Amino acid sequence: MRASSAAEVNEIVPNTVEASLAAESTEEVPQFTRVGGIALAQPSGSPGESREEQRRLRRLFVTSRSLLQVAEEAEDERELVMTVVQAAAIWHDVDARAYRRDLQGRFVLDVRLPGADLSVGPRDFSAFSVVSGPVTRISSVGEQEQLGWNDLAGELALLPIASSANAQPRWVLAIPIETDAMVSSNLLLLCEMLGLCLDRMATRREQELRKRLIRDLVEREGVVADLANAALAEIVSFLGAAQGRLVTGVGAGTDAAEGTEPRTMAEAGGEWTAGPTASLEPGQSLMTPRRLTMSFSVGNRATAIIDLTAPEAADFSISHASLLESAVSVLKTWLAGVLDGAAA
């Protein structure tokens, strides 16, 4: 099976990454390029470097610059991952595909080239298949088929994409074709850069969500119910959820009067149709691809639970769960103040 050529990729995926990925640019590039506060050193060939090595370094530089630029504005991790998938196809004729770790501990196919042969690899596989280390190489045909890869011409490589060497990879780049040492080295470096950019993007997104919630809840005046509904609508929109609701009540062992029932404080996305919200102790959560439920303490041993459902066309991911945790950090402080004020 042959990966899509550079011409084919450019025809079917127009304008998705910088034009410099489609062909090596001849423009003069400054010695340093600064993107989002990070300075990249432009490779300037030395007498001891071969022409091929100079080209390799320039390609890594251009792709790294593209990743940093996308990370400053992207709202979806797949935009960053696609940059590397396309670079692998254009420069190395490699049909790479990326698997995202889901909330059930499996890697699910999420980014691939348009027109890629889906019969070659699985739609998902167990996260236990990816061992610690920079790359997992599987040469045995039996092991490849057990994971769902069929009729490969050689070795299967699984490259983890993580923010650090010790972090759990959230993505894996699968290379279903044997590559030479130079290509493998390039892809490993790009995966390391991609992991850092994904972490940078996640931090930016979490800060942006907290900023919006502080604006909705703290910097505005209004009826508590209206503020809660506005904040919940912001969370639902930011995470791309279908519906959401915020339930307040009492936790086990509370001093509140007997018979006090939890109540729905806010709803977003129309009338709630997802059924009862799970009863959880403060600090507990239920995170699945279709539903995110998180319970948190809001003072005086009271409990609040935020409950989100996924849209029909997409599942929640680990990044969605992380965003919800950031949102809860703001809700928790605000709700504690509201309840303390009501009790005064």
- Give the pLDDT of residue 289: 96
- Give the pLDDT of residue 46: 55
CATH of 6-201, one of 3.60.15.10, 3.40.50.2300, 2.70.70.10, 3.30.450.40: 3.30.450.40
- Give the pLDDT of residue 133: 66
CATH of 220-343, one of 3.40.50, 2.40.160, 3.30.450, 1.10.3470: 3.30.450
Domain definitions of the chain by residue range: 6-201, 220-343
Region of residue 234 (phi > 0: left; psi between -120 and 50: alpha; otherwise: beta) = alpha
Residue in the block written with tokens 């509904």:
229
- C-alpha span between 223 and 132 (Å, rounded): 52
- Give the pLDDT of residue 128: 74
Reference 148, options 112, 207, 107; nearest CA is: 107
- Give the pLDDT of residue 239: 97
Bridge-based pairing state of the strands 263-268 and 136-138: unpaired
Give yes or no for a contact between 35 and 69, defined as CB atoms under 8 angstroms apart. Answer: yes
**Same fold across 6-201 and 220-343:** yes
| Average pLDDT of adjacent 10-residue blocks, the chain of 344 residues | 41 42 45 43 54 77 82 89 91 91 93 88 83 78 89 88 82 88 86 91 96 93 93 97 89 45 88 90 94 90 92 95 97 86 59
Q: How many CB atoms lie within 10 A of CB 133?
A: 9
Reference 143, options 170, 122, 168; nearest CA is: 122
